[in-house]
Amino acid sequence: MSTIKRQLPHPSELFEQVSLKKPEFNPTTRRLAAALTIEDLRKIAKRRTPRAAFDYTDGAADDEISMDRSRQAFSDIEFHPSILRDVSHVDTSTTIFGGPSALPFGIAPTGFTRLMQTEGEVAGAGAAGAAGIPFSLSTLGTTSIEAVKDANPGGRNWFQLYVMKDRSISYALVQRAAAAGFDTLFFTVDAPVAGARLRDKRNGFSIPPVLTLPTVLNAIPRPAWWINFLTTPKLEFASLSSTGGTVGELLDNAMDPSISFDDLDEIRALWPGKLVVKGVQNVEDAKRLIDLGVDGLVLSNHGGRQLDRAPVPFRLLPEVVREVGRDAEIAIDTGIMNGADIVASIAMGAKFTLIGRAYLYGLMAGGRAGVDRAIEILAEQIVRTMKLLQVSSLDELGPQHVTQLDRLVPSASARGLSIG
């Protein structure tokens, strides 16, 4: 039996084979560097954020079926790579709604953003600008239109609009966004009333947060969040702060069950940029909107936060693309937690995607640096997925690269039904 000759390592040879990692003393930098996925950022966010604020971000409506199905839809795909293609360089850039984006995703509009972490929309807008992607500000944002412009002066800013019961408030916001140079308006149509956010109700969630014994006990291991919250400007709907009323009254006023296609005409007359309708959930509405001249659509079920058991945007995408994809740019959101999800969406015909929770997990995990890390993670995953599929540009992606595997399919009787 042969034996291996052993010897003491020579110091010079030892250092050739082993290197010492330089220690990182900044805890935030250390945590973020160790995060390799959006799920890793989520776990950090959960540890560092009070439960009510985290659950507001992480949760969805009713039994959260829409959110779970939307995420599952991206798991239920099969990629089909090509071979022997030169992918030494991959181009992730695209154009969307009349302008450029360095990556095929942007930051979705989110409400109450400074509740999650005090840097809020300023961190999101700054990170988006640095990455060369668009940032979207919500009507219910906690940073003003003008402050977002200051945070992202050279980048693309988009504004998401709820048509409020007091139409003059909505119209004034449209005019302010236009004056600040925002180039795209998201007219959101899937929120005539608020969805049933059961996590929020169980947590006694409110804006601003109310201190109760459970709140205090939950806050004890998260002092940094409370220090930031208590030593920065008060939490409010920044773009609505001059309109009067309490936060609760403004929230109730923001969602109006009387909105109709007539409101689309009014907004179109006021808005000089690209007009995109967000919250489209069936083919017939998509066709009607294109006939009415909108510039684009966002297929969305509001992150599963409105109607539970709503259509899954990624599942709806191919049919909408077949019907109207030649006439308008189509984006999707909901359920995107990996760059591979974004690649699959582009392959199935989306022109663009939006990330909401993925960005907010980064924000809660580390403020601006956490948002930068979320974007970096997704960008790395997009590039790696494209290289493994052996495509060098987004234009090369197509349905031949992705199969949506069947898990939830309509029954035979449902397939025979017609709508309209």
| Residues classed as catalytic | 302
Q: How far apart are CA 140 and CA 186, in angstroms?
A: 13
274 three-state secondary structure: strand
Show the tokens assigned to 412.
């035979």
Is-cis flag, bond preceding 208, omega within 30? yes
Q: How far apart are CA 238 and CA 147, in angstroms?
A: 9
Q: How far apart are CA 71 and CA 413, in angstroms?
A: 27
Quick one: which of 354, 332, 361, 313 has its CA closest to 57?
361
- DSSP tag of 393: B
By CB neighbour count within 10 A (0-12 exposed, 13-18 middle, 19+ buried), where does 112 fall? buried
The β-bridge partners of 289 are none
HEC-encoded secondary structure of 42-109:
HHHHHHHCCHHHHHHHHCCCCCCHHHHHHHHHHHCEEECCCCCCCCCCCECCEEECCEEECCCEEECC
Please report the beta strands in 105-194, taking only residues with DSSP state E, as ranges in sequence order: 105-107, 135-138, 157-161, 184-188
Show the tokens assigned to 112.
């109450």
